[in-house]
């Protein structure tokens, strides 16, 4: 079993996603540098490629991920790995994760 290399943080953020044959929304329930765990209103199959829009706390403009893949799926929960994100979106995610890490360590 492989160990995760990125710290995961518990969150509750709205997410919208879409792919070739699917569109849905839900909530991100944990987050890391490379992926999110999502609880959704849709069942999403492992291997599905999606575009994502997540609303981070205290931010009006959603964070967009150009391409992510579903790495695992159980019921209406699934895990995403990011494959492609614009540099400004990556920087916003990095700042958000830094904030989470700082608040966890205080």
pLDDT in tens, 4-20: 456 888 999 999 999 98
Asked if residue 76 belongs to a domain, the reply is yes
Question: How far is Cα 1 from Cα 59, in angstroms, rounded to an integer?
Answer: 36
The residue range of the domain holding 44 is 9-104
Quote the number of domains for the chain. Answer: 1
Could you tell me how far CA 50 lies from the centroid of its own chain? 11
Asked if residue 1 belongs to a domain, the reply is no
Q: What is the mean pLDDT of the chain?
A: 89
Q: What is the pLDDT of residue 32?
A: 84
Q: What is the pLDDT of residue 8?
A: 85
Looking at residue 4, what DSSP letter applies? P
Asked if residue 86 belongs to a domain, the reply is yes
Could you tell me how far CA 106 lies from the centroid of its own chain? 24
Q: What is the pTM of this model?
A: 0.85
In 19-76, where do the E strands start and end? 23-31, 35-40, 49-54, 63-74
DSSP secondary structure, 3-28, as one string: PP-S--EEEEEEEEEE-SS-EEEEEE
């Amino acid at each position: 079993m492989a160990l995760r290399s990125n710290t995961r943080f518990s969150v509750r953020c709205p997410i919208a996603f879409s792919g070739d044959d699917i569109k849905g929304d839900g909530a991100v329930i944990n987050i890391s540098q490379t992926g999110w765990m999502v609880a959704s209103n849709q069942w999403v199959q492992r291997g599905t490629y999606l575009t994502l829009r997540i609303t981070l706390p205290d931010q009006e403009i959603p964070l967009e991920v150009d391409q992510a893949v579903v790495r695992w799926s159980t019921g209406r929960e699934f895990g995403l790995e990011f494959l492609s994100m614009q540099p400004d979106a990556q920087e916003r995610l990095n700042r958000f994760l830094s904030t989470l890490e700082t608040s966890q360590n205080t």
